[in-house]
């Protein structure tokens, strides 16, 4: 790989001999750190489903899952075992190869974005020169499996959902890319780790005096909610109109991969927003940097997403498009111009 | 050696995906094979150290152009309307134009000098600076071309006033 650099030097140095050698090698580094980061994201996503159901129960004056294990904590395990033991059906009119390809692809593209998102100075799989572009490229590819699933099912609801998903995806891609440019302009690098380090020295981008940072953060957060198809942007799987969206014809674990991926995607979007705008692993005023800050911010944003989900209602498709093209796109252009002016007049950070 | 084998395998993928894209009688499969081919091109760029180009290739071509193509074939019914014939009555004309394009590309490639080897890494910052200083005129001309295309599309698609 071109610009991949093993960044876990301090971690590698602190470990005993065989482990530090493996970590110093790019492949060993990728496998070990990648394994840790991926396992972490999958585990948090699984138990966030339990948390969300309990939290939703609280908001709606009911209990939520509380039977399996202490306080219902084993519910995700029980769900997973149940789904794996079910039969996987293929509709007779489906395009079989594409139908079976879609769920694994969606998980693959989502996990691929993890490669360049730093959790801390050490927990970074690869510090690429094009880190942010890598993430945006793979999150753009996320539309493919959704579309393939909807089309290959040969089901009108699934096809409608796929059509809405692609329309929404390519629209919200524009403000997402533009608002992600704001930190790039400010820092002068596409590497997410560089962006975080810059914020460690100059303060979080969210709290910039003039405000393109705050504007960029809000737009980025809203657009990534739309990309992850979370309420209030879950038009592609509006269950009251489209039964279950693109997942109508799927069963068992093939179905299970879709909601699982959605949670992982949402968690990754929270992590990316924390790294780009909220200073990543640095605390406010740069004190006590470490993993705990990054985790705290990521989980807080994740919680805000749940909160929004159970507080807001779903947009109509036309309202969704109006919000994107009439508000988010012009505002994100404004944020980029603001960031460029800020850099030009403050002498340039790059 | 390993890099060479990997490069050849990816190139093989790109070429065969392109072939499938042309030969498939299913419109949707054609578009998806084209996506595989373009993504493979991006992998080739990554293998030779042009990481920025590779990311842009994915974002613009696979993520943008192909998505728009999918939009175009979206309302096709899975069983009937996506079947397309592959008319082969103009084989000679096709062969001539393919050979002409091949000759053009081959002459362009052979007239270039490849120095520096495969290990040079072009930094993204250098590309940006070159675009906005040395090649500024070409950059701006391109953006005006894109703007004109966009305006034309709006004019064509606009609802006529009664």
Which of B28, B74, B77, B82 to mutate to probe the A interface, most A CBs <10 Å? B74
Rounded Cα gap, residues A80 and A82, in angstroms: 5
Quick check: bond before A232 cis, omega within 30?
Answer: yes
Contacts with B33 from chain A: Cβ below 8 Å: none
A3: pLDDT strictly greater than 50: no
Per the document, the length of chain A is: 350
| pLDDT score, position A8 | 43
Quick check: bond before B138 cis, omega within 30?
Answer: no
Among A2-6, A44-48, A170-174, B48-52, whose mean pLDDT is lowest?
A2-6
Q: How confident is the model at residue B99 (pLDDT cuts 50, 70, 90)?
A: very high
What does the mean pLDDT of chain B come to?
A: 82
Whether the Cβ atoms of residue A196 and residue A121 lie closer than 8 Å to each other: no
pLDDT in tens, A278-336: 888 887 766 677 788 888 888 899 888 888 888 887 777 788 888 888 899 999 999 88
- Smallest CA–CA distance, residue A40 to chain B, in Å, is 26
- Smallest CA–CA distance, residue A198 to chain B, in Å, is 16
Indicate the DSSP class of residue B159.
P
ipTM, two decimals: 0.77
Inter-chain residue contact A2 with B68, CB threshold 8 Å? no
State both tokens at B127.
């590309």
Q: Which of residues 279-338 of A touch B (CB under 8 A)?
A: none
Q: How many CB atoms lie within 10 A of CB B80?
A: 7
Rounded Cα gap, residues A151 and A168, in angstroms: 16
Q: Give the three-class secondary structure for B26.
A: strand
Backbone phi, psi, residue B116, to 5°: 90, -20
End-to-end CA distance of chain B: 68
Q: How confident is the model at residue A68 (pLDDT cuts 50, 70, 90)?
A: confident
Indicate the helix (H) or strand (E) that contains B82: none
For chain A, how many helices (H) and strands (E)?
Answer: 15, 0
Closest residue by Cα to residue A181 from A64, A50, A29, A332: A332
Q: How confident is the model at residue B147 (pLDDT cuts 50, 70, 90)?
A: very high
pLDDT in tens, B121-136: 667 778 888 888 888 9
The DSSP bridge partners found for residue B26 are B83
Whether the Cβ atoms of residue A339 and residue A186 lie closer than 8 Å to each other: yes
Q: Using N-to-C axis directions, what is the helix angle for A329-345 and A156-187, rounded to 10°?
A: 10
pLDDT in tens, A180-205: 888 888 888 888 888 888 887 777 77
Domain boundaries, chain B: 1-77, 122-162
What does the mean pLDDT of chain A come to?
A: 81
Inter-chain residue contact A147 with B79, CB threshold 8 Å? no
Contacts across the A-B interface (CB distance below 8 Å):
87
Class of domain B1-77: mainly alpha
Whether the Cβ atoms of residue A247 and residue A275 lie closer than 8 Å to each other: no
Task: Quickly tell me which residue has 């498709």 as its tokens.
Answer: A317
Rounding to the nearest 10 degrees, give the CA dihedral for residues B111, B117, B119, B124: -40
State both tokens at B117.
């080897």
The predicted model scores a pTM of 0.83
pLDDT in tens, A138-185: 888 888 888 888 888 878 888 888 888 888 888 888 899 899 888 888
**Rg of chain A over all Cα atoms, to the nearest angstrom:** 21
Closest residue by Cα to residue A106 from A275, A268, A310, A220: A268
The DSSP bridge partners found for residue B83 are B26
Q: How confident is the model at residue B141 (pLDDT cuts 50, 70, 90)?
A: very high
B85: pLDDT strictly greater than 80: no
State both tokens at B86.
């592959």
Chain B: residues touching A (Cβ < 8 Å): 28, 32, 35, 46, 49-52, 54-56, 58-59, 62-64, 66-68, 70-71, 74-75, 78-79, 121, 123-125
State both tokens at B8.
């050849």
């Amino acid at each position: 790989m071109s610009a991949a650099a093993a960044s876990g030097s301090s971690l590698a140095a602190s470990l005993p001999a065989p482990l530090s050698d493996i970590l110093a090698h790019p492949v060993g580094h990728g496998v070990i750190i990648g394994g840790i980061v991926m396992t972490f994201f999958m585990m948090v996503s699984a138990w966030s489903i339990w948390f969300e159901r309990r939290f939703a129960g609280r908001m709606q004056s009911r209990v939520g899952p509380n039977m399996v294990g202490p306080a219902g904590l084993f519910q995700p395990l029980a769900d997973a075992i149940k789904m794996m033991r079910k039969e996987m059906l293929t509709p007779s009119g489906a395009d079989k190869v594409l139908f079976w390809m879609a769920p694994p692809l969606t998980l693959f593209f989502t996990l691929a974005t993890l490669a360049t998102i730093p959790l801390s100075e050490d927990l970074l799989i690869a510090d690429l020169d094009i880190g942010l572009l890598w993430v945006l490229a793979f999150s753009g590819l996320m539309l493919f499996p959704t579309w393939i699933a909807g089309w290959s099912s040969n089901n009108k609801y699934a096809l409608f959902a796929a059509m809405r998903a692609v329309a929404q995806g390519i629209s919200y891609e524009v403000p997402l890319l533009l608002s992600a440019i704001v930190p790039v302009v400010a820092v002068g690098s596409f590497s997410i780790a560089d962006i975080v380090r810059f914020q460690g020295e100059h303060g979080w981008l969210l709290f910039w005096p003039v405000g393109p940072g705050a504007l960029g953060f809000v737009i980025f957060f809203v657009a990534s909610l739309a990309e992850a198809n979370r309420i209030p942007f879950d038009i592609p799987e509006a269950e009251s109109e489209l039964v279950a969206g693109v997942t109508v014809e799927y069963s068992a674990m093939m179905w299970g991969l879709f909601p699982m991926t959605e949670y992982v995607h949402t968690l990754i979007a929270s992590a990316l927003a924390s790294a780009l705008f909220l200073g990543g692993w640095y605390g406010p005023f740069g004190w006590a940097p470490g993993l705990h800050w990054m985790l705290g911010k990521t989980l807080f944003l994740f919680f805000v997403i749940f909160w929004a989900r159970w507080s807001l209602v779903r947009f109509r498709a036309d309202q969704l498009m109006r919000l994107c093209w009439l508000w988010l796109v012009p505002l994100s252009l404004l944020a980029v111009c603001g960031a460029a002016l800020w850099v030009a007049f403050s002498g340039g950070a790059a | 050696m390993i890099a060479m084998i990997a490069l050849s395998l990816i190139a093989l993928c790109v070429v065969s995906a392109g072939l499938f894209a042309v030969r498939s009688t299913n419109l949707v499969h054609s578009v998806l094979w084209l996506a595989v081919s373009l993504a493979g091109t991006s992998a080739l760029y990554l293998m030779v150290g042009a990481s920025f180009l590779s990311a842009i290739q994915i974002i613009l071509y696979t993520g943008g152009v192909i998505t728009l193509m999918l939009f175009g074939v979206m309302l096709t019914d899975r069983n009937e309307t996506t079947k397309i014939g592959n008319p082969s009555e103009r084989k000679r004309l096709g062969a001539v134009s393919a050979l002409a394009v091949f000759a053009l590309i081959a002459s362009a490639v052979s007239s270039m000098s490849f120095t520096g080897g495969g290990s040079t890494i072009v930094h993204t910052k250098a590309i940006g600076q070159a675009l906005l200083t040395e090649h500024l005129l070409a950059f701006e001309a391109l953006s005006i071309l894109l703007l004109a295309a966009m305006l034309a599309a709006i004019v064509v698609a606009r609802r006529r006033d009664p």
